[in-house]
Amino acid sequence: MILRLVSLIPLVLAAVLFSSCGSSGLAILPKSRIGGSGFAGDEQFALPGPSSMALSSAAAKPRDKHSMPVYTFSERSRIVRTTAYTSTENDHLIYGKKNATGTQLRYSNRVRSAAADWSFYPVGTTFRIKGLPYLYVVDDYGSALAGTGTIDIYKPSQEVMKLWGSRNVELTIVQWGSFTRSAELLKQRTSFGHCRQMLSNIIRQQPGLAIAAR
């Protein structure tokens, strides 16, 4: 009898352990919820909301056409509207997996590509999104982004792109990119309206770059 009771002890302890996990709020995620080699895990979880300080700072600022705050370049922490895109969308098919600088779009567990109006975020601008571990680099642009502070986050597939959707996030600028390089690239593409618009806005902010834009 004593031996039978002793043999039951491990089973009792295991039952107590699992019941305590459930009552403590510890979530056990199914494998389908865990990001695999595609690094898509962050698409399935809500990001933390902007801090009260970021919300307070944004309250009195001018707004773009999406009613999002417009910041000065001295302000590195900001609330930004983000969307998502992928290389297999109809308007990107002709470029394949190349970005606007002519290099490959990036999507790794460390560095990822992003598109923006280069007069708001010049090419090479790097930033982090609150709640995510990746470093994002602005190496692309898009016609729908011109004149706005919206940032388009590159995703590897349309499925992952749709999971991101449109999100207002808090981000921090790690390093500003180059307006000079932006102007040099855009001057070669002035047959496109959005490129002319970005280039004009860059020169308006930095008249000295008019020479670089010739």
Q: How far is CA 195 from the centre of its chain?
A: 22
Q: Which secondary structure element, helix H or strand E, spans residue 186, and what is its range?
A: helix 179-186
Q: Report the phi/psi class of residue 142: left, alpha or beta, with left for phi > 0 and alpha for psi in -120 to 50.
A: beta
Contact 86, 158 (CB under 8 A): yes
3-state secondary structure of 104: strand
Query: For the chain, which residues make up each domain, given as ranges?
Result: 47-177
CA distance linking residue 132 with residue 48, whole number of Å: 10
Range of weakest confidence among 52-56, 109-113, 122-126, 210-214: 210-214
Query: What are the counts of helices (DSSP H) followed by strands (DSSP E) for the chain?
Result: 5, 6
pLDDT classification of 210: cutoffs 50, 70, 90: confident
Structure tokens at 176: 């500003």
Residues sharing a CB contact under 8 Å with residue 70, sequence separation 6 or more, in sequence order? 61, 62, 63, 64, 149
Range of weakest confidence among 26-40, 103-117, 161-175: 26-40
CATH topology classification for 47-177: Barwin-like endoglucanases (2.40.40)
Statement: residue 145 has pLDDT above 90: yes
Statement: residue 79 has pLDDT above 50: yes
Per-residue pLDDT, 91: 57
Q: Per residue in 10-27, pLDDT tens?
A: 443 333 333 333 333 333
Length reported for the chain: 214
Statement: residue 37 has pLDDT above 50: no
Q: Which secondary structure element, helix H or strand E, spans residue 59, and what is its range?
A: helix 52-59
CA distance linking residue 133 with residue 135, whole number of Å: 7
Structure tokens at 112: 């990822």
Per-residue pLDDT, 214: 74
For residue 186, the one-letter residue type is L
Helical packing angle, 193-205 and 179-186, nearest 10°: 140
For residue 110, the one-letter residue type is R
CA distance linking residue 147 with residue 116, whole number of Å: 10
Range of weakest confidence among 9-18, 119-128, 136-145, 204-213: 9-18
Per-residue pLDDT, 90: 59
Statement: residue 70 has pLDDT above 90: yes
- In the predicted model, what is the mean pLDDT of residues 156-182? 95
Statement: residue 200 has pLDDT above 60: yes
Statement: residue 73 has pLDDT above 50: yes
3-state secondary structure of 98: strand
Return the percentage of the chain with pLDDT > 90, whole number.
Answer: 69
Range of weakest confidence among 32-46, 166-180, 188-202: 32-46
pLDDT classification of 44: cutoffs 50, 70, 90: low
The predicted model scores a pTM of: 0.78
Q: Which secondary structure element, helix H or strand E, spans residue 199, and what is its range?
A: helix 193-205
Return the percentage of the chain with pLDDT > 70, whole number.
Answer: 75
DSSP states of 123-176: TT-EEEETT---EEEEEE--GGGTTS--EEEE-SSHHHHHHH-SEEEEEEEEE-
